[in-house]
Structure 1
Amino acid sequence: MKTFSAIIFSIILFMLLSPGIAGAVNQNDINQELQQGGIIHIPAGTYILTDSIILQSNTILEGESGTVIKIPDHAGWPAWKPLISGNGVQNVTIRSLEINANSNGNSETPHGAGYYNCIHVVDCDNLQVYNCTFHDSLGDGLRTKRCENIKFYNNLVYRLGHEGFFGIESQYIECFNNRITTRTNSGLRIWNSANVRFHDNVIDAQLDAGGGDPGIQIEDSKGTVGNVEIYNNVLNRTWGKGIWLVAYDSGVSNIQKVLIHHNLFYEIGQSYNIPSTGGIVNDGFQGTLIYNNVFDGVKNNAFRNQVGGQGTVIKDNVFTSTVQHTSISQTGTGYAIADLVGANLSVTNNSFYNNENGNACQTGISNADFKDPETHRTSSGWTWTGSTWTCKFVKPTELGSIPLTTTIRLRLMAIIYSILYCKFFN
């Protein structure tokens, strides 16, 4: 017969590892409340959707600790039917929800093909999504198209099937204070969007063949990308590129003038199967200003210019310990900076130290500092603490490992509790 302590232990373990099923409320109830406007509060519990939640204007959709929205196994929804949908609505807030899009239970459909996006909004203005968790999706976390005034912040994102945030033909976007682990593609991405701020995010990767590619992707095919600033981010051991700037079609004639500053790029490019890894990889952007960043231990190149690149300025950065690509031999690999197309880059006042094959390939440098940046002050504004890089704009972040996701923590808790139970109560 179990002791009283063993019974209490079992109850606690059940509560920790088994979220409630809230069968009394479904998407029909939520949608009816959304039609009324105001604040729609979803109590703690797991809600299994058989249809999309449809957003309405002037509403707040909120959960609390333990509120989980999920789809069933083998849901059978068509492509482009998301868990939460909005079309032509304004003044919407989504907060404090956990969205589990159940990719394992719907593995018959492919990643990144429009299936089971967590939130997908079109022609919507004044949208905020914050304090949410997005995980186990075959698609995007938040996907916007032709939207304005979007804020995506304080979110936890992992095990998605496409992007954490994807802004398409949208304006006035701000993504900040998010913790993202990429799978399939990128953490933050825009396509033909303008007036964008990506800042104070920490982005790493699921370190396997499904780990995605860039931490941040800026894409221009219509010549409409402009006023984009990427700053105060930590990009830590991404699978492919840290930041990918890619222009094609009408985008190649645009002068985008992207600002990239005060970011930490640490051991970027862990992939063995993506050729063009690097801290920043440029495929067609012009007028990029790259300053006051740290590139430490990046694989292939810290900055790799493959197409375009005219008017690029690179100044007051730290480039240290760049190494060759993990497994693919290519022109310029192992140099801090490689300009493969002769774009006449402006490279001034940077710190270069211990880069495997050299500091610059096919480009000149001027006013360079060749001392160890870990032991003396550089013009970058960054200092080495002995375990991480820091500057006054960026919070010190532990480097070299991926923090445990909630799912892994729970599994470890289950193992630990099982061991303790066997030891003390049997």
Structure 2
Amino acid sequence: MKTFPVVILSIILFMLLSPIAGAANQTDINQELQQGGIIHLPAGNYTLTDSIILQSNTILEGEPGTVITIPDHAGWPAWKPLISGNGVQNVTIQNVEINANSNGNSETPHGAGYYNCIYMIDCDNVQVYNCTFHDGLGDGLRIKRSKNIEFYNNLVYRLGHEGFFGIESQYIECFNNRITTRTNSGLRIWNSANVRFHDNVIDAQLDAGGGDPGIQIEDSKGTVSNVEIYNNVLNRTWGKGVWLVAYDAGVSNTQKVLIHHNLFYEIGQSYNIPSTGGIVNDGFQGTQIYNNVFDGVKNNAFRNQAGGQGTLIKDNIFTTTVQHTAIYQTGTGYAIADLVGANLSVTNNTFYNNEKGDAYQTSFSNVDFRDPETHQTSSGWTWTGSTWTCKFVKPMELGSIPLTTTIRLRLMSIIYRVYYITNYF
């Protein structure tokens, strides 16, 4: 019995250094999917030479240590994903780690349609949860012309485009995700409606490849409506915290996006993106921004560059706004900057210690100028001495990045495998 710890240590070291082959390839998985029901992938590495093809009324599930990946220099064409779904319904993907092997396929560019982890078109009733997406050249979940989509409890980092990207889709809910952006954004919709992004934590890879917005809402067809962004923590994003961008037919739409009870902390770390800011508006109308905290944002907490008619900004905290890290531009360093004269409605907010001033080219009313760290404000947020809290948002220690998911999942995988070996062999 004295040798048991040594045996366990040897097993752990072996598992850390040696990949475990999966018991099936994509052909076997696809045959099981054709039968419907639950397809369970035991722990192991599943290296694909072709896409997994989803079917209706199926659950594709893994367990700690289930890793789907592709080989080096895979040579797949653009828009061929690791997991594909077309015209299917009632699909769940859960408890799977997808390593899209961007390092081994560096001959292809980021964000150009290569090796999306999951790409689904014309699909309804889709759930993706408890998954990890990392080291990719494309999106985590990219979904188009679909409805009733849930993306939650996922971990996302080192991708080459978006963590989640919903295109021309409806009834989308993304929540409880932990996302570190690379190349572009964490959560994004384009020409989609009935969307809820809430209770996510989004930060950035802090280098030139760190992406841009934490959340991007895009309207080119005038179809964006009923979008709500709430209870999120956006912490040290590389570019914008939230980017609202409308063009073509989208500029005639009144989108009425609701943005409330979010924490924007030290947003806009980039030296190479001009228009950073907590919320940057390029053409949206009727936006309501309330009960948020903007602390230490670079450039502007709210920056209005186009559109902005009917925007309401109330019951927020704007504190310690500073100028852009590297690129001087009009209005930088003010909490709120309206560059187009949209006649914003700014009322009942707290402004404190903003480097250049509180408002550029816009007026405000019912202002609280007291230090929000020591006085109660109308925002509903309080300062604990190390973080901002409100009753709707889970507290987070700011300025720090939690234990990376790779380490956490790898440890979970090791524990599971050791348990399995010691109990069944």
- Counterpart of 2:136? 137
- Counterpart of 1:35? 34
TM-score norm. by structure 1 comes to: 0.94
- Counterpart of 1:13? 13
- Counterpart of 1:239? 238
Deviations 1:68-104 (A, max 9, x none): 0000000000000000000000000000000000000
In the alignment, the residues of structure 1 paired with residue 402 and residue 100 of structure 2 have an alpha-carbon distance, to the nearest angstrom, of 21
Rate the CA distance shift 1:96–1:5 in 2: closer, same or farther, 3 A.
closer
In the alignment, the residues of structure 1 paired with residue 324 and residue 95 of structure 2 have an alpha-carbon distance, to the nearest angstrom, of 40
- Counterpart of 1:378? 377
Misfit runs of 4+, over 6 Å: 409-412
**Within the alignment, does 1:334 sit opposite 2:333 as a pair?**
yes
Q: What amino acid is the match of 2:172?
A: I
- Counterpart of 1:167? 166
Shift of 1:353: 0.3
TM-score norm. by structure 2 comes to: 0.94
Shift of 1:14: 1.9
Shift of 1:404: 3.6
Rate the CA distance shift 1:138–1:355 in 2: closer, same or farther, 3 A.
same
Shift of 1:13: 1.9
Contact kept, 8 Å, 2:193 with 2:225, in 1: the verdict is: yes
Q: Percent identity?
A: 89
Contact kept, 8 Å, 1:17 with 1:410, in 2: the verdict is: no
Contact kept, 8 Å, 2:184 with 2:210, in 1: the verdict is: yes
Unaligned runs of 5+ in 2: 412-425
SS of the counterpart of 1:333? coil
CA RMSD of aligned residues (A): 1.5
SS of the counterpart of 1:40? strand
In the alignment, the residues of structure 2 paired with residue 13 and residue 351 of structure 1 have an alpha-carbon distance, to the nearest angstrom, of 54
Rate the CA distance shift 1:96–1:409 in 2: closer, same or farther, 3 A.
closer
In the alignment, the residues of structure 1 paired with residue 143 and residue 6 of structure 2 have an alpha-carbon distance, to the nearest angstrom, of 50
- Counterpart of 1:420? none
Shift of 1:6: 5.5
Deviations 1:238-269 (A, max 9, x none): 00000000000000000000000000000000
Relative to structure 2, which stretch is displaced further, 401-410 or 179-188? 401-410
Shift of 1:184: 0.2
Rate the CA distance shift 1:411–1:156 in 2: closer, same or farther, 3 A.
closer
- Counterpart of 1:322? 321
- Counterpart of 2:422? none
Shift of 1:278: 0.1
SS of the counterpart of 1:11? helix
Shift of 1:311: 0.3
In the alignment, the residues of structure 1 paired with residue 302 and residue 94 of structure 2 have an alpha-carbon distance, to the nearest angstrom, of 37
- Counterpart of 2:45? 46
In the alignment, the residues of structure 2 paired with residue 7 and residue 193 of structure 1 have an alpha-carbon distance, to the nearest angstrom, of 54
Rate the CA distance shift 1:192–1:131 in 2: closer, same or farther, 3 A.
same
Shift of 1:9: 2.8
Unaligned runs of 5+ in 1: 413-426
Shift of 1:7: 5.7
State the number of aligned residues. Answer: 410
**Within the alignment, does 1:205 sit opposite 2:204 as a pair?**
yes
Deviations 1:98-141 (A, max 9, x none): 00000000000000000000000000000000000000000000
Q: What amino acid is the match of 1:372?
A: D
- Counterpart of 2:175? 176
Q: What amino acid is the match of 1:185?
A: N
In the alignment, the residues of structure 1 paired with residue 409 and residue 131 of structure 2 have an alpha-carbon distance, to the nearest angstrom, of 18
Rate the CA distance shift 1:336–1:400 in 2: closer, same or farther, 3 A.
same
- Counterpart of 1:388? 387
Contact kept, 8 Å, 1:19 with 1:66, in 2: the verdict is: no
Deviations 1:356-414 (A, max 9, x none): 000000000100000000001000000001100000000001111222423467999xx
In the alignment, the residues of structure 2 paired with residue 410 and residue 222 of structure 1 have an alpha-carbon distance, to the nearest angstrom, of 41
Rate the CA distance shift 1:332–1:372 in 2: closer, same or farther, 3 A.
same
Contact kept, 8 Å, 2:65 with 2:409, in 1: the verdict is: no
In the alignment, the residues of structure 1 paired with residue 68 and residue 225 of structure 2 have an alpha-carbon distance, to the nearest angstrom, of 36
The 5-angstrom pairing of residues 53-202 of structure 1 reads: 53-202=52-201
- Counterpart of 2:266? 267
Q: What amino acid is the match of 1:38?
A: G
**Within the alignment, does 1:220 sit opposite 2:201 as a pair?**
no
Rate the CA distance shift 1:351–1:132 in 2: closer, same or farther, 3 A.
same
SS of the counterpart of 1:74? coil
Contact kept, 8 Å, 2:64 with 2:409, in 1: the verdict is: no
- Counterpart of 2:414? none
- Counterpart of 2:344? 345
Q: What amino acid is the match of 1:15?
A: M
**Within the alignment, does 1:400 sit opposite 2:402 as a pair?**
no
In the alignment, the residues of structure 2 paired with residue 201 and residue 61 of structure 1 have an alpha-carbon distance, to the nearest angstrom, of 24
In the alignment, the residues of structure 2 paired with residue 379 and residue 17 of structure 1 have an alpha-carbon distance, to the nearest angstrom, of 54
SS of the counterpart of 1:265? strand
Shift of 1:157: 0.3
- Counterpart of 1:417? none
**Within the alignment, does 1:295 sit opposite 2:294 as a pair?**
yes
Shift of 1:11: 2.7
Contact kept, 8 Å, 2:155 with 2:405, in 1: the verdict is: no
